[in-house]
Copies of this chain bind each other. A is one copy, B any other.
């Protein structure tokens, strides 16, 4: 009988831990309107008796990545990857050494690099993200992610994902939602680590898409080459077009942080029933970065939270997440 009671006790403890998990699925969030909006949305859309109930097969939630799921300052992680790849590229093609914009990147002059015009930056992106096989690209990104570190935190970039947002994604998935990343970053780049870092499989990563070309190596083995052909720029209106292309239905919840996410939130929250639009505001210079220019925060070229976006959020009922006020803990390595 002792054994029986032992089993009963462990069952009760298990149940208790489950209920506890349900009671506080967002431990890194402070109580406040942002947390309440998330909890309420999940409660309403998964309650069969509620008029705003959403059937499981329609539960889609989309998340921007840079500035929403991980740190995007001082510059997008993928851009650093591309700059770091330039020396390897020059080694393979020495004729690039004296050619702009590669010459500037090779000089190591940070100020000059930061001033490169968009067109020249795009040239670097195309040269370092295309022209190789998909397999080689994945191996290169993996290798880089294993060692490259963020200048401020001295941590791997994949460690700089926001713990509160990882909790939101898990909370959504635990309630039957399919979670998607919808990013302006390269779809193939983000897919390399999305499963390990976010628990999101490659087929649920929607990003800026380039063409590939099917071919065979000298032994007749088939492989795909990344072509310098843009299929879809997954920013602004492109995010909605990317969602239609890759998912084929309107999300019920969307998370972003910059004007590049405006259309995704607009499209999502224009649907019938319960819809959730949320925007991360970077207002915590102490623990992370502070940039607006909304709310009087400093302006930025990377992920600006404009006044127009702020006004739009107010008008359409999107909830602003204040990093300073709403997030108890930013990263999993804290404490």
Contacts and interface: CB of A to CB of B under 8 A. Distances in A.
Contact of A245 (B201, B212, B267): B212
Interface string A221-238: 110100000011000010
B248 A246 contact: no
Interface string A242-271: 001111110000000000000100110010
Contact of A248 (B178, B205, B222): B205
A57 interface: yes
A176 interface: no
Contact of A202 (B203, B237, B247): B247
How many of these chains are in the complex? 2
Contact of A57 (B195, B211, B249, B267): B195
Contacts of A232: 211, 231
B57 A212 contact: no
Given A201-B57, A224-B241, A214 B263 contact: yes
Interface residues on A, range: 20 to 34
Highest count of chain B CB atoms <10 Å: which of A201, A203, A205, A224: A203
Nearest to A236: B214
A61 to B, nearest CB: 13
A240 interface: yes
B203 A267 contact: no
A57 B196 CA distance: 12
Interface string A287-316: 000000000000000000000000000000
B214 A248 contact: no
Interface of A: 57, 134, 178, 187-188, 191, 195, 201-203, 205, 209, 211-214, 221-222, 224, 231-232, 237, 240-241, 244-249, 263, 266-267, 270
